């Protein structure tokens, strides 16, 4: 599968989780989720696919970076940003793993 469906999957999964957790307007959440994933997802993909990085190590770094981006974009407490970043990334990483198991 090409790269674009993986990015779309991450956005489709993470946006509703952030919306439920952060309680911000849905379109704002969708826009920021797309922007945040547009920043972190390509880098994560490159490190895992082309540099052979450990996927779980990359996910930890992505969650940390996304915590900062969520805190900045949504103007929420850092703790809240961290919690929802970890939840959204855990769910989307798990879903990506399941999809990849069934596809390959």
Please return the burial class of 44, using the count of CB atoms within 10 Å of its CB with bins 0-12, 13-18 and 19+.
Answer: buried
**Is the per-residue pLDDT at 20 higher than 80?**
yes
pLDDT band, residue 8 (cuts 50/70/90): very high
pLDDT band, residue 28 (cuts 50/70/90): very high
**Is the per-residue pLDDT at 31 higher than 70?**
yes
Is there a contact between 24 and 74 (Cβ–Cβ < 8 Å)?
yes
Structure tokens at 49: 């696919």
């Amino acid at each position: 599968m090409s790269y674009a469906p993986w990015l779309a999957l991450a956005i489709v999964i993470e946006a509703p989780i952030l919306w439920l957790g952060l309680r911000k307007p849905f379109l704002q959440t969708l826009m920021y989720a797309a922007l945040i994933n547009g920043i972190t997802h390509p880098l994560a993909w490159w490190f895992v696919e082309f540099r052979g990085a450990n996927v779980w190590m990359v996910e930890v770094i992505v969650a940390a970076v996304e915590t900062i981006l969520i805190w900045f974009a949504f103007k929420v407490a850092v703790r809240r940003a961290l919690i929802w970043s970890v939840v959204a990334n855990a769910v989307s990483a798990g879903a990506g793993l399941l999809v990849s198991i069934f596809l390959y």
